[in-house]
Every structure is written in C-alpha cells, then in structure tokens.
Amino acid sequence: MSTPAGRRPIVVVAVGTGLLALASPAMPAGVNAEYRELVARYARGERALAIAGVARFSDSELGRIAQTVEAAALAAERSKAAEPPLPLRAAVMLHLDLDEAQRPPAGGTEQPRRCPGKQAEIAARYASVLAWHEETRSFARRFFVALANSCQWDACLLEAQRWAREGLKLFPRDAELLLSVGSTIEESATTWAGGSVVENPALAPRFREAARAAALERAAQFRQAQYRFGGPRFR
C-alpha cells in the first residue's frame, strides 16, 4: 500500500479521535489499582504522566493485568453489565503511545527502526475485546488497519501481515485489512533479491537448493497476494 513520501501513518489520528472525552467507568477490584488510575488519567488527558507510570510495570506484570482485564470484560459481557472493566479505548491508546515511545527512530540504514513490541500486543488484546461490542467495533477495526499500515511503513512486513490477519479474524471480509495483507505479501516478495543466488554455479549445491526453495516461497506469496487483491473474499 503506497503512502505519500515523507508522511508516516499516524496511528493515534487513525483511531483515537474523541478518546479523551470518555469518562472513566467504575472498575472492578481485581484490576491493579495503580494501573486503573493511570488509565483513568490518560483518559482525562494526562498522557505523559500515564505513559511514564505504565512504563514502570514489567512485561510480565502488564501481561497479568491484561489477562485480568480480559476476564473482567468477559464476565461483564456475560452478565450484560453496562460498564467495561476499564475505559478500554484509553487503554489501547496508552499502550500504543508507550510502544511508540519505546521505539526510537531509525538511525540510518545500519540501525533500522524497531518493530512494534509487547505494548502493541497488549493494545491489540484490548482492541479485540472492543470488537465484541457494536458501539466500539469501528474503533477496533481502525486500530488493526492502522497498526498493520504503520508496520508496513516501517518495513516490519511480517508484523504488518500478522496484525492485518489478526484483524481479519475479527472482521473477515474487511476490504482495508485484505488490501493490507495483500500489499504486504506483495512487498515481501518483490523486495527479495534472490534470483541471482539461485543461478550462481559457484555456490555450493545445498545453498542453491535453499535459495531455490526461498524463491518458490516468494512465488507462493505472489499467489497469496493475487488472491487477497482479486479473489472471492476480496469481492
């Protein structure tokens, strides 16, 4: 998917409009109290403070908190409770902002920009919960589209495919997600320069065979891309 030169997709713009006007709902005791307060502060507009506070938690602590939030959200869904366990849209954007802060900009060709990490994964978990509800499904869909496109912009092609495919599990016929998968597969296949390696007679046979297998894999990726762009699911 092409993007005008010099303009990097901004995920916050894609999914966060109107976020800070959300009120913080009542939250269950099972969710870490400090974390709850940080998410509530982010929702009120205290972004820098909230990001710095969540950054002090370890990855394992945040994983456990996310698991608790998901369980609480499922319990609320089963009991038809009106309120989610957290202002989840704020939590999504908080973890996305923290992920961005933890990924320094590229320092040239020798130091490429790191791809989204643990914080983006937690944001995606919360976005998946938001996909359960009609009033927040659109937000969740835009999140996966924006994250996949942002990864593709940063040349994180495997991650771009991953997040587009995760979005398609929730929104199976979404045209933007299908286009994102297809364009990323196509870019992966076209940016690999392995043809000369396959035909190089000076290369050991085992290496030529490995290169030939890789070339076949790229051909398969082209077929996948064609399916995503023009196959029956895309229509």
> pLDDT in tens for each of the 235 residues of the chain?
444 444 454 444 344 444 443 433 444 447 899 999 999 999 999 999 999 999 999 999 999 999 999 988 888 777 776 566 789 999 999 999 999 998 876 655 555 667 899 999 999 999 999 998 899 999 999 999 999 998 888 888 889 989 999 999 999 988 889 888 888 877 776 665 444 433 445 545 554 465 555 555 555 555 554 455 454 333 3
Domain match, 163 and 53 both: yes
119 shares its domain with 231: no
Domain count, the chain: 2
- Whether 178 maps to a domain, the answer reads no
Q: Do residues 158 and 202 both lie within one domain? A: no
Together in a domain, 95 and 17: yes
Q: Are residues 63 and 125 in the same domain?
A: yes
Q: Does any domain span residue 180? A: no
Whether 165 and 206 share a structural domain: no
CB distance 32 to 65 below 8 Å: yes
Tell whether 131 is covered by a domain. Answer: yes
Co-location of 128 and 212 in the same domain: no
Say yes or no: 15 and 110 in one domain: yes
One domain, residues 131 and 220: no
Residue that is last in its domain, among 146, 173, 200: 173
pTM: 0.69
Instruction: Identify the domain containing residue 156 by its residue range.
Output: 11-173
**pLDDT at position 162, please?**
92
Tell me, yes or no, whether 183 lies in a domain: no
